[in-house]
Structure 1
């Protein structure tokens, strides 16, 4: 019996996790207007850098006193850094018509531009506003576009309560970030 006990503990933990019905929310980018003056035909979007609370699977919001709390067991359906990177690549492609893809670059010929996004803040504030701030850098491996670093501070309203409202506000913020990047390029 003592030899079997260590085998039963991991099985019990696995069974407890398998029964979880916590809701999971997709990270998306809302559609936006097309930008016609982009000089890059191809853009590699590097993995978005996130602060530790935003990189976790729990969806968080600001509570009383400024502390961040998980929203009722709700989680992101994908790794947040990967999800935001994919949403930005999709948003840039839809807005610009450029071939935008997540790193690693999938084609033999390198991209015209490389986008590196570093997020400082990404959360639903207690005042009903979603904040997405940080900086993005555009580099050009082949020297075909102007290289630069630019700060962004995007706020979008959180329409409602809970994780679904926070996920929608993040989608709007990512759409605005894709717009700002495409206009700057």
Structure 2
């Protein structure tokens, strides 16, 4: 009976990882130009991610179709929070609107609400990262036309490691933010 607590402790310690994991930020590149926006404020809802992309482990889609975690590689933040804030920050930089992630921090409601549902965010074995999403732009006060759209991009990764995956994810999110900025300007 004394072995049971020891075995349980060993299992718990094994689940905690080796402690040597590297953590990677999703950090979109700076935008080169700012677009006008037909609204002054935008609330970015929490981005919806598929289960594999919302895991803290960084994974890659192998040629055999299996998603495999890269050894000792983790996202630095909860992926939903990290992607949401990276997208809000990029959209804020890409448009003249003030953008904040939910919950909306001001007393007056945002003039537009953006909801992004990522269907696919995967690093592929062919050296490309794919992002496919559906987005909705709502305007509670009717200042802009409400709409639903689709977005898809494929970004070349500059390598096979987690640093290349993180950089490509940042680039894909910046491209999505640029599309959303374009939508907010119409």
Structure-2 residue corresponding to 1:76: 75
Give yes or no for contact 1:30–1:174 (8 Å, CA) kept in 2.
no
The count of aligned residue pairs is: 184
Contact kept, 8 Å, 1:119 with 1:134, in 2: the verdict is yes
Listed one character per residue, the Cα deviations across residues 97-142 of structure 1 (whole Å, up to 9, x for unaligned) are 3211111100000001100000111011111111000111100122
1:35 Cα deviation from its structure 2 partner: 3.0
Kept in 2, the 8 Å contact 1:61–1:124? The answer is: yes
Structure 1 residue 69: deviation in Å? 0.8
TM-score, structure 1 as length reference: 0.91
Q: Counterparts of 1:1-185 in structure 2 under 5 Å? A: 6=5, 9-10=8-9, 13-14=12-13, 17=16, 20-185=19-184
Q: What displacement does 1:65 show?
A: 1.3
Q: Give the superposition deviation at 1:6.
A: 4.0
Question: Which runs of no fewer than 5 residues in structure 2 stay unpaired?
Answer: none
Shift of 1:12: 7.4
The 1:74–1:140 alpha-carbon spacing in structure 2 relative to 1, beyond 3 Å, is same
Alpha-carbon contact 1:44-1:100 (below 8 Å) kept: yes
Taking a change above 3 Å as real, the CA distance of residues 39 and 126 of structure 1, as seen in their structure-2 partners, is same
Change (3 A) 1:25 1:146: same
What SS does the corresponding residue of 1:123 show, helix, strand or coil? strand
Deviation at 1:19, TM superposition (A): 5.1
Q: Does the C-alpha gap of structure 1 residues 12 and 130 become closer, same or farther in structure 2, counting only changes over 3 Å?
A: closer
More helix by share: 1
TM-score in terms of structure 2 length: 0.90
Q: What is the alpha-carbon distance in structure 1 between the residues aligned to residue 74 and residue 24 of structure 2?
A: 6
What CA distance in whole angstroms lies between the structure 1 residues aligned with 2:123 and 2:4? 44
Inter-partner Cα distance in structure 2 for 1:85 and 1:104: 12
Runs (5+) with no aligned partner, structure 1:
none
Contact 2:35 2:182 in 1 (8 A): no
1:13 positional shift: 2.7
Q: Distance in 1 between matches of 2:59 and 2:152?
A: 19
How far apart, CA to CA, are the structure 1 residues paired with 2:53 and 2:147?
25
3-state SS, counterpart of residue 64 of structure 2:
helix
